[in-house]
Every structure is written in C-alpha cells, then in structure tokens.
Amino acid sequence: MTLSKKPYRGTRDFFPKDKRVQDYMFSKMSEAANLYGYEPYDGPLLEEVELYKAKSGEELINDQIYSFNDRGERFVAIRPEMTPTVARMVAQIHKEQAKPIRWFSIPNLMRYEKPQRGRLREHWQFNCDVFGAPGRFGEIEILQVAAQLLESFGANEKNFEILINDREIVDHIFSNLIKADQEQTYRLYKIVDKSKKVDEAAINKMVDEVGLSADGKDAFLKYLTLTSFEDLKAFVSTSDANLDSFDEFITLLNNSSVSKYIKYDPTIVRGLDYYTGVVFEIFDKHPDNRRAICGGGAYANLLQIFNEKPLPGVGFGLGDVTLRDFLETHNLLPDLEKDNFDIFVTFQDEGARDASLSIADQLRKQGIKAVTQFEKVKFNKVFKQAEKKSVRFVSFLGDQELEKKTILIKNLESKEQKEFNHSDIEAIRDYIRS
Amino acid sequence: MTLSKKPYRGTRDFFPKDKRVQDYMFSKMSEAANLYGYEPYDGPLLEEVELYKAKSGEELINDQIYSFNDRGERFVAIRPEMTPTVARMVAQIHKEQAKPIRWFSIPNLMRYEKPQRGRLREHWQFNCDVFGAPGRFGEIEILQVAAQLLESFGANEKNFEILINDREIVDHIFSNLIKADQEQTYRLYKIVDKSKKVDEAAINKMVDEVGLSADGKDAFLKYLTLTSFEDLKAFVSTSDANLDSFDEFITLLNNSSVSKYIKYDPTIVRGLDYYTGVVFEIFDKHPDNRRAICGGGAYANLLQIFNEKPLPGVGFGLGDVTLRDFLETHNLLPDLEKDNFDIFVTFQDEGARDASLSIADQLRKQGIKAVTQFEKVKFNKVFKQAEKKSVRFVSFLGDQELEKKTILIKNLESKEQKEFNHSDIEAIRDYIRS
C-alpha cells in the first residue's frame, strides 16, 4: 500500500523555509512579551472537556473541539484555546503570587474548522494575560503588548487598527435600552457577530425573529450605527449607566502609546464566552486582507469555576496563520528562504576528507556553524552549492593543501581568500567572525 | 460544580520557572543542531494512523497511541514520535533537494504511558535526522550532534556514555548463528530489550519458550555476553558475515570526537521498528539515574512506504523529561528560578503614576525590558519586590521627583543611584546597558 505524503487536512508541514518564518515570528512574540515583563508558561496539549464546557462558547464544544475518550475513559480534548488552561494554572498559584501576574505562551491549538485563508485546524497562538492589575491598567497594557509585537515587524497605523468595545456597557445596553432577556441577548450577540458580513435587510429579518419590542428593535439598530466613544456615551446617557470606569479607561487610552490605533466598533463583542470588560480585535487595514489578526478582552470571573475568589484578568490571542498573512500582505517579512550558517566546508580529493571533517568539527567547538559535504566537490561546483546555503565562507582542501597541512578559506562577499594551517583553528574562527 | 486545578494525568503545567528551564534546553538543542548545519522543520500534531501502522512497533499502535476518529471519520493519532512525519515530509521533496538533507525539530509528542520518573504522557523531543549521507558518515555525525548537545551543558564522559550496536550484524547473527525464524527473531528482540532488567534464570526461561535449537540457544546467550566490537567481530567470524562496512564505521568512530563515549552493548536493538544500521542509546552514568536519555539509529527503507526510492536516513530523539532529569542529577542546570528583566519601574505617590508608566514605555521602545507596578510602592518595599524579579535596576518616582521632572534609577548590584530628567530616555537606556 502506498501512503499519502500530504499532511492531515487543515494542518501544515513546516519545511525549513516555513519553519524559519514561524521561528522568526515566535522570537518577536517572546521579545514583545519580555519588554513588558511577561514570563513564559505552557500547559498540557490535552485538557478534560469539562474545563471548556465551563466557560467556552457552545459552538466550540459542539462543532469545533477535538474531543475523545482516552484509554482510561477520560473525556479529553486537544486544547482549542489557551485561556481555560491559563486560568486553571493561575488558580493554583495566585494566592502566593505578587500581583500583577504577567504571563505569555505560544501553544499549538486545534479546532475542527473548514480550512480556508487565515483559518486552519492547527495553529500556534501567542497568548498574553495579566492577572490582578488594578483599575483599567491591565487592559491598556495588554493592548500595548499586542501593538508592540506588530510594531516590532515595522507595522504602523497604516497597516492595522484596534477595534474596541466594552462588554459591561454592551450588556447594560442590551438589558436596559433594548430590554432583551437572556435568550434574546444570546441571539442578538449572534446577530452582532454576523452584522458586518450581511446586508441591512438580512439583519432586519434576523432581528425581527428575536421578538423585541418596537423600541427595543430601534435601539438595537441604532446601537449598530455607533462609530465613536462619544456616540456610545450619548446613546447610553438616557439610562442610568455608571460610566466612571469607562471614562477612566478612555482617558488612559487617549494618553497611551496605542491611542493612534484605536477605533470604537459596536460589532466587536467576542461571542458570549467569558469577557466582562474591554473586548478588542486588531484588524488588518489592507483591502485584500480585511480580517482580525488578534482578539482579546477582560474577564473578571474565570477563576470562579475553580472555586477561587475572582481575580480580574485581561488577555489576547494572536495566531501564527493570520499573522503571517498580515506580514506578507504588507511585505513585512525578511527573506528567510535560506538558512544562515557560517561556513561550507568542502574537500576536493578523497584523501582530504578526514582533515576537512576534522577541521569542521574543531570549528564547531569554537561556536562556528559549519556545514560539511561528505563527498568531494569539484572546485567550480562549490560556489553553486554554497549559494543554496547562504553561508558567508567556504573552505577548500585538496591534495595540494593536504600536503602542506593547510586549508583555503574564502569570504564569498569580499572574494578575499586566505590560507591557514590545520592547527590554526582559532585564527580561522577569528577570520570568520571578523 | 468545582473543576479540578490539576493538569491531565501524565502531562505538565509549565509555570514560568519550569518553562524557563525548558526554553533553556530548547535553545541549546537549536544551537547544537545549527552548529552542524541542521535546518528547522515541524509537522502536524495529528497524522493518520496508517502512517504509524506502516512502520512503528506494534506496542505503540495497540497500547500507547492516542488515536480517535475525527468528525469526518478520519482515523487519526496525536503524533507519538516524529520519524514517520519527517519521512513523509522528506518523501515530498527529496528529489529536488541537495544531499545530505539535515533537519531538526522539537515537537510535543504523546503516548499513553503509566506516568513514572522519566516517562510522561506528553513530552517534547529533540529530533535530528540526516538523509542521503554516503557510507557511514551520517551515523557518525548524528552521534556527534547528540554528544554536542550534552557537552553544551557541560556534560562529559563522566556523565554519559553512548551504547551502540549494529542492526545489520544483529540481524545476521539472529538468522545465521542463532538460526531463528522471523517469529522467533521477533520474540528474541523482546527478550534482548528486557535482558538488563531481569536475572539470568528469567532470561533462560524466556529463551526456552522461544523453541530454539540447543546450539541456537547457546549462541543467543553467548551473544548477550559480548562487551566490545572485538568480541562481536570474533563472534561472527565463524559465519560468512561481510564486515567491511562495519569496519569502516568503527574506524571513523575511533577517529571521531565521540569515540570517548562509545561502548558496545549487545542489548541495544531499539525494538523491531525501522532500524537497519547503527542503533544507539545515550545512557546516564550516574547510579541514581541509570537510564537512556536519547535513542536513535540508521534506517534505510523508510521512504518506501510512500512508494519512493530508498534514501538512507539516520536520526535520534532526545526527550525533555529525561534530559531535565539528567541535567538535574549532574547539577548542570543554571538557576532559572526568576526571570531576567532590566528594570523594575515604581512610583511612590499616586500623582507620579502616569509619568512612571510613560517612562517605562519609552524605555521599551529603546529595547529595555521594563516591568512596572501599577500601584504605588513604598520606598522600603521596592527592594523586596525587585528581588523576586531578578532585575538589575529599579526606578523611583515620587511627588518630589515629579516636581523636578526627574526619576531616580538605582543599580541594585553597585548600589549606585543616579537622577535623570524625564526626557533623558536615551541616557537612562545607556546607564542600564552599561
């Protein structure tokens, strides 16, 4: 039987040129997190399904999760998101820990999706969370970390925007101005989620099916037209909403380094899951790639499922698939087609093999990245092979050099060529490093 | 309902101090691979079970694999090992690729194990493979990469040894000297695998059950007593074994940088799976931790399951759980209890918060890792908090400094303290970097 060479549907084979791009993105993620004092963590690939049932959205559990019974009849799932895991871990240690707790992770996650641009079944996700920050400071910082990452690739306000909303105010609007009950609220959230993808008539039809009062329907449709924080404040001013905290947030936001990216958007609600404060999505501004690269928000109650006292948290997830699409759309990725080694070590006559391989190994002990060829390479073929490897130096060793116990090292950029004795390992190292 | 805070059985929560240890080990793995010109790759978390059925051991499929039907009725498994994946990937590209192909990866893998010291259900494994190397050069290089990794932590021949065997010769012995048929060979391999863990009487009993001839049994028991390459050669000298290739291998090995670690061991056979040449295990020499840290070998025929021409490969896997045990046993891990940021930015009066946070953010734009405290910290409490974070600098900003638009920066090592203007961001950066 012949087996398929293809990867499982919706997953990727990372050949070296792709893995280098991913590693580059991962290193930028760690750097951005480190600049803000976030510490690395990771959790298990599998969690018990109960953990997701407690707080994740219904769609995730019913349609998207990879769940199965293990050999001991435990009902487990491949992690579809990281927030329940980080909440579980923080629940173990938050009592002894100085606040705020700042953590980040880059786990691989799986969802049973219909594969399409920007959406695969397996992806890696940069997760940052801050727990126990007072007031609205955690929300501001989390937005800063996310922006810092994109800025570190050279992106700016021409490339992306941060669309923002506040779940506390949205919940207030839904219950006090639209006067929707719990079931209606649930359905309205679904409509809000879809509202950018369908036309007015379709929205009208969906809203009619919810069964709101005429005033409620008007209020809901009005809500969808809001375009600024001022709009939002004017809209809720007729009710008894307490806007002190929201005002504090807006003031902090306007004075922060991310203010230039911020735009109010009533359609950002991030489903029905665990958010209780700010919710946001970072959007690509390029017309060819109008999609969210990152989403997150504040959640006050995640630790309660572990019978722990509430500890406010704020976090975001940013996936490697959408990030790469974003970076490619804006031409922000360096050329990582080839790997970067220091020297390509070759020999031109059979008898010189041992000496050539031995010198390569001695150079490695000096920290030089030496890639060898096990078979002799004709002088004129060396350069073509070296080009594929993106090395700065090549070495030659033939019968002639062997007799003199020397090796030729050539700098491919300057075309300069030097001869060294076999024992001059440190001199070769210095030449390569210079 | 209260949910459990514990991770799924046999998996780990990596709190920051543990994740830092893992990241440290991962960075050493990448470095060792890079020194030898190995390029990074990765593959999917899930593969179709057929892929493992084709070449992995029976025990793995029947008892250890995490397999299930996905929502589209595909029978898939969480990867229990990386070799089938890398073979599948190499099968896609080997025709266009210059040889040798040198690749490495650090995937997370899962096996349904009974959790115990050195063995968990989820672990990460450093995988290095070289494809298309001529003669025995690939086998030598793979041993060098594995040794290089351990040496990079400061380990040497006092800490570990490389136990080695050759499957081609073992297969020759089993069929020509012991005269075992395929079924008997299978059972003998199982006995060899167990032979170090049980006493002579138990081995005798197991061998008797295989039903060898008296001469066959004697030959098998004699085989288990071999202790050197010379022993092995003398043992097979009565048969028509062709030892040219093995002799070439031993000569290369003796002249290589890993010769000091090598020991012949007849009990190393690495199951029945895909090995066809050298097989090896790296063993911890410490009496408290006598176990394999790493295993690998040469396989000639892995690409055939994809209907591709044979391409010789050699590789090893080295897990993070056993590596950490090894490093801890020999005290080779640095102290990674605390994270390493540059400066802890504090303020002592409410009014100074904005200025303090703004300076922190400006420093980050200069590449300084600044961790802030969102609430005011009394002067005498700053040092205790800073100690937990392993920062070299702290900054203070109270009403007094605010009025002068200055900030105090203290070097915690030298105890030196300097005052800077709020606008002196670059001078602060240089002070921290100096």
Beta-carbon contacts of residue A11 (< 8 Å; ≥ 6 apart) = A120, A121, A122, B43, B44, B45, B46
Beta-carbon contacts of residue B360 (< 8 Å; ≥ 6 apart) = B343, B345, B370, B372
Q: What pLDDT score does B253 carry? A: 95
Q: Domain A343-433 class? A: alpha beta
Beta-carbon contacts of residue B224 (< 8 Å; ≥ 6 apart) = B192, B195, B203, B266, B267
Q: For B330-387, write each residue's pLDDT tens digit.
A: 999 999 998 889 999 999 999 999 999 999 999 999 999 999 999 999 999 999 999 8
- Least confident piece of the model among A4-8, A55-59, A383-387: A55-59
Nearest CA to CA, how far is A140 from chain B (Å)? 11
Beta-carbon contacts of residue B171 (< 8 Å; ≥ 6 apart) = B185
Q: How far apart, in whole angstroms, are the C-alpha atoms of residue B426 and residue A34?
A: 19
Residue with tokens 């306007």: A254
Asked whether B249 and B278 are in contact (CB, 8 A), the reply is yes
Does the pLDDT at position B45 exceed 90? yes
Q: How far apart, in whole angstroms, are the C-alpha atoms of residue B327 and residue A426?
A: 30
For the record, the structure tokens of A308 come out as 């722990």
Does the pLDDT at position B273 exceed 90? no
Q: What pLDDT score does B131 carry? A: 98
Nearest CA to CA, how far is A381 from chain B (Å)? 12
Q: Using a CB-CB distance cutoff of 8 angstroms, which residues of chain A are in contact with residue B257?
A: 361
Q: Using a CB-CB distance cutoff of 8 angstroms, which residues of chain B are in contact with residue A111?
A: none
Query: Do the Cβ atoms of B34 and A100 come within 8 Å?
Result: no
Q: Using a CB-CB distance cutoff of 8 angstroms, which residues of chain A are in contact with residue B68?
A: 66, 68-69
**What percent of chain B is predicted at pLDDT more than 90?**
87
Does the pLDDT at position A1 exceed 70? no
Nearest CA to CA, how far is A128 from chain B (Å)? 13
ipTM over 0.85: yes
Nearest CA to CA, how far is A434 from chain B (Å)? 18
Tell me the count of A-B CB pairs closer than 8 A. Answer: 220
What integer is the mean pLDDT of B260-276?
90
Span B16-38+87-329: which CATH code? 3.30.930.10
Q: For A256-315, write each residue's pLDDT tens digit.
A: 999 999 999 999 998 766 899 999 999 999 999 999 999 999 999 889 889 999 999 999
Q: Using a CB-CB distance cutoff of 8 angstroms, which residues of chain A are in contact with residue B48?
A: 4, 8
Q: What pLDDT score does B272 carry? A: 62
For the record, the structure tokens of B237 come out as 């000298």
| Stretch(es) of chain A classified as CATH 3.30.930.10 | 16-329
Query: Do the Cβ atoms of A19 and B41 come within 8 Å?
Result: yes
Q: What pLDDT score does B1 carry? A: 60
Query: Do the Cβ atoms of B138 and A46 come within 8 Å?
Result: no
Q: What pLDDT score does B388 carry? A: 86
- Where residue A339 falls among pLDDT bands split at 50, 70, 90? confident
What's the number of CA atoms in the CB half-sphere (13 Å) around residue A134?
Answer: 7
Q: What pLDDT score does B428 carry? A: 97
DSSP label at residue A174: I
| Stretch(es) of chain A classified as CATH 3.40.50.800 | 343-433
Q: What pLDDT score does A53 carry? A: 87
Q: How far apart, in whole angstroms, are the C-alpha atoms of residue B21 and residue B28?
A: 11
Q: Using a CB-CB distance cutoff of 8 angstroms, which residues of chain B are in contact with residue A367?
A: 35
Of the partner residues B91, B103, B307, the one whose CB lies closest to the CB of residue A16: B103
Q: What pLDDT score does A58 carry? A: 73
Beta-carbon contacts of residue A175 (< 8 Å; ≥ 6 apart) = A185
Q: What pLDDT score does A76 carry? A: 97
Q: How far apart, in whole angstroms, are the C-alpha atoms of residue A266 and residue B31?
A: 48
Mutate: best of A20, A22, A29, A45, partner B, most B CBs <10 A: A45
Does the pLDDT at position A335 exceed 70? yes
Does the pLDDT at position B2 exceed 80? no
For the record, the structure tokens of A234 come out as 């004017």
Name the architecture of domain A16-329. Answer: 2-Layer Sandwich (3.30)
For the record, the structure tokens of B294 come out as 């790493």
